[in-house]
Structure 1
């Protein structure tokens, strides 16, 4: 479940980053703020079971890769093979971190 929270946080990150760039009205800014809150809530939930460094690395890496692809597809960003190569390196790193990280088992309090 913790990795699901990381995935949700990274997906929602794409929307709030786009919102930070393109919001103009109070309603658009409100949506951006809500997306930021959802994204960070998901990160906090993920950190309950996973190391925070792992969560942050996967969140930022996967979010950054997704944002670059969204820019290519929808916002006419300059496409280059070198950008795709570096994004691929980020994705390989994110997969490597996920494969080498384990969810922690919460310690129950008060029991003997």
Structure 2
């Protein structure tokens, strides 16, 4: 169940990061409130995952998931750069996430 919690935490990390952008420096109520809620949910599930998964593994996967998720959103929705070097670097993060999962001793 800890890995499911970690996936949920990573998904909500993407949500809060995106809402942080749209909060416009915490000047817009809706995105700011959504950010607070999503951040709480993300950290709650991260803390649950860390009860079983080692902290280094859980935190690295959580941040990596957020980085990849938000970058993909930026490329698809916000028309950010999709150059090969950027995609390669994101691929390295994904390989790192998978490597941490495979080698985790839980």
Q: Give the TM interval when normalised to the shorter protein.
A: over 0.9
**1:14 lines up with 2:14 in the alignment:** yes
Which consecutive unaligned segments of at least 5 residues does structure 2 have? none
**5+ residue gaps, structure 1:** 104-112
* Superposed CA RMSD: 0.9
TM-score, normalization by structure 2: 0.93
- Return the offset for 1:45: 0.1
Q: Distance in 2 between matches of 1:28 and 1:91?
A: 28
- Residue 79 of structure 1 and its aligned partner are, at CA, apart by 1.5
How far apart, CA to CA, are the structure 1 residues paired with 2:22 and 2:85?
A: 26
The answer to whether 1:29 aligns with 2:32 is yes
Q: How many residues align?
A: 103
Shift of the alpha carbon at 1:27?
2.3
**Runs of 4+ off more than 6 Å:** none
> TM-score, normalised to structure 1's length?
0.88
Match of 1:68 in 2: 71
Query: 1:49-60 maps to which residues of 2 (within 5 A)?
Result: 49-60=52-63
Cα distance in 1 for partners of 2:28, 2:60 equals 32
